[in-house]
Amino acid sequence: MNGLTSRFRVSPRGFASPLVRFGVPFLALIVALIIGGLILAMAGNNPFEAYRTMFDTSLNGWSAMTRTLALATPLILTGLAAAVAFQMRVYNIGGEGQLYIGAIAGSWAGLALPPATPAVIMLSAMLVCGAIGGALWALLAAIPKAYLNADEIITTLMLNFVALSLMNYLIFGSQSFWRDPKRTVPGGKRLPDAAIMPSLSGRLHIGIIIAVVAAVLLWWLLRKTSWGFQIRTIGDSPSAARYAGMSVRFKTLAVLAVSGGLAAIAGVSEVSGVTKGLEPRSLATDIGFTGIIIAVVARSNPLGVVPVSIFLAAIATSGSTLQSIGIAVEVVFLLQGLIFLTVTAGEFFVMNRLEFVSPEPSGDSIPGDTTDLPAGAT
């Protein structure tokens, strides 16, 4: 009787202590690694060896770290792009397309300015051009959202395909300004040296600094300014925001523009620091979509986006080396998916407290009794 009928009760937590807020996702991560390890073991691999290899190739030592950080750079930016929109409960799924537009607009600036332009001016111009391009692209979805309440999930998602086709067309389908006419295999013109982000170490370039500064700046904007106050209010309750005199319409436009701009800067960072020219094949690697996952796992907190991006990048970096020990690359996606699942499920335990209740001796409590509410107060 007592063992079987013991129940647990869920009650909302008023305030989650830092221990809970950081401890729960960490435990969730461990759980994901354990499940992943079990799957590896079932497939006949040694999970310890696999994890060791992954750790060595992605985080152990400076050169491993630079590879990981280089990969994390655009992820931080697209993660921030998704996070800022999610803060207002606007679901920008268009980071991928906005990144392409950023790459197109940024490389245009890099190719159009005289190659002798000083690097500082050149790179600034590329970043500004790219960000404006991405913001305008996001506004294509934001304006219908703000004025006609068109679902931004659909519009931003569809615009990804338009942006991808546009980028492919510029390089593969036309003799555009971006395409290098001298190459037999279609490809982008190489950017002049001044338009290439200086390397910090190996593949790691100054884009990482831009990304981290953007994260701190965005956190400050959201937490410490009246602009962020409004974004958070609208995200929590649009009707309370209207009552307080905030313009939900204008903020929708602003937030999607900022979001698009951030994703576009990821595109500039990639085109300038990695591909060094508009190369559709190398740019279209789902960086924008991964940013959405990062924002969700980081609970839309800009400062959380940085470590989450680095962690996901670490898993991705180690993918190729897994093959050398006979483990399929798919394990990387498996782990990413598992982490996404456990961390979002863990959110429940951050928001709620779980208490175990011993069964009541009398049988007079009717299940569901507590959900009775007065009859709608007529």
Q: Which is nearer to other proteins, 190 or 242 (CB)?
A: 242
CB of 361 to other proteins, least distance (A): 21
> CA-CA distance, 301 to 296, in Å (whole number)?
9
Residue 175 exposed, middle or buried by CB count within 10 Å (0-12, 13-18, 19+): exposed
The yes or no reply on residue 376 touching other proteins (CB under 8 A) is yes
> CA-CA distance, 173 to 166, in Å (whole number)?
9
| Residue 76 structure tokens | 């931080």
Q: Which is nearer to other proteins, 24 or 65 (CB)?
A: 24
> CA-CA distance, 365 to 214, in Å (whole number)?
54
Binding mask 241-280 for other proteins (x = CB under 8 A): xxxxx-----------------------------------
> CA-CA distance, 238 to 231, in Å (whole number)?
10
Any idea what DSSP says for residue 359?
P
CB of 11 to other proteins, least distance (A): 10
> CA-CA distance, 186 to 188, in Å (whole number)?
7
Neighbours of 323 (CB within 10 A): 11
Footprint (CB under 8 A) of other proteins, residues 184-243: 224-230, 232-233, 236-237, 239-243
> CA-CA distance, 235 to 299, in Å (whole number)?
13
201, 309 in Cβ contact below 8 A?
Answer: no
Q: Which is nearer to other proteins, 195 or 218 (CB)?
A: 218
Q: Which is nearer to other proteins, 223 or 281 (CB)?
A: 223
Report the residue from 114, 363, 367, 374 that binds other proteins according to the rule CB under 8 A. 374
Q: Which is nearer to other proteins, 104 or 253 (CB)?
A: 253
Footprint (CB under 8 A) of other proteins, residues 349-368: 366
CB of 224 to other proteins, least distance (A): 6
Footprint (CB under 8 A) of other proteins, residues 13-42: 14-15
Q: Which is nearer to other proteins, 89 or 203 (CB)?
A: 89
85, 250 in Cβ contact below 8 A?
Answer: no
- Give the binding site for other proteins (CB under 8 A): 12, 14-15, 224-230, 232-233, 236-237, 239-245, 366, 372-378
